[in-house]
Structure 1
Amino acid sequence: MPSLRHAFLLNAVRELGRSVPDIARSRDSWDACLERIREVCITTLGMEYDTLARFDARSVVGLFAHPEQARILARLVDERARLCEAHGLYADALADSVFAGQLLMCSRARFGLPRDARAADVLEREAGTPTPLPLPEE
């Protein structure tokens, strides 16, 4: 049974890796990008993004059985922060960035540093690293 869970999580991470470029390309359209984030959340985690985003990070991480799930959600929240920033919603972007950081912090607290670090390695290997946001021109 543990190998079945591991295969499910690896497939979820790979699905995230396939979807992240689509999310990044659709940032010009608010509705399309947000819908893509919601679809990926349901596909990878089996839960609705909007529902998960309403709770505090500790409660959300408490729902997950593996640190990879918390990392996937943190990545999706970070993508939404990038969407908000691209559309000039800086307060929402900051709130999402803080929430993503809190998810990662709670993941380390719940699962321990070694397990969370392995989850980060798996996510980076399969989904890639997020592209840095360009600094606003002055």
Structure 2
Amino acid sequence: MPVLRHAFLLNAVRELGRSVPDIIRARASWDGCLERIRGACTASLGMEFDTLARFDARSVVGLFTHPEQARILARLVDERARLCEAHGRYAEALADSVYAGQLLMHSRARFGLPRDARAADVLEREAGTPSKLG
């Protein structure tokens, strides 16, 4: 069973890696970019982005079995924050940035710093960093 979970998570991270460049290119269009973010969440986590974003970060991280999942969602929330900032929605951008930070904080609290750090390395290796892509 652990091998299947690992394969699922690696596939989720790779799916996010394939989606992030499309998300970045679509930032000029609010609706188009938001749809790509939603699609990336569904493809990588199997859950709806809007539903996850409605709950507090601690509850959402409690749904996940691995820190990679929390990191993926935090990355998508951060992309939405960048979209909001690009369209002048600064209050929403700030709220999303705070939420992404809370997701990471609760991930570290739940899974421990060493596991969360490994999750960060996997995500950066597979999906890249915003500075490399943007």
Shorter-chain TM-score tier: over 0.9
- The one-letter code matched in structure 2 to 1:127 is A
Counterpart residue number, 1:99: 99
Give me the whole-angstrom Cα distance separating, in 1, the residues matched to 2:43 and 2:68. Answer: 14
Q: What's the TM-score once normalised by structure 2's chain length? A: 0.97
Q: Segments of 4+ in structure 1 off by > 6 A?
A: none
What percent identity do the matched residue pairs reach?
86
2:41 alignment counterpart? 41
5 Å-filtered alignment, 1:1-138, equals 1-131=1-131
State the secondary structure of the residue aligned to 1:47: coil
Deviations 1:16-62 (A, max 9, x none): 01110000000000000000000010010010000000000000000
Distance in structure 2 (CA, Å) of the matches to 1:116 and 1:103: 11
Q: What one-letter code is carried by the residue in structure 2 that aligns with 1:100? A: A
Partner amino acid, structure 1, of 2:98:
V
Structure with the largest fraction of helix: 2
Which structure 2 segments of 5+ residues have no match?
Answer: none
CA distance in 2, matches of 1:129, 1:37: 16
**Could you say what the CA RMSD is over the residues aligned between the two structures, in angstroms?**
1.1
Which amino acid counterpart does residue 4 of structure 1 have in structure 2? Answer: L
* Structure 1: gaps of 5 or more residues: none
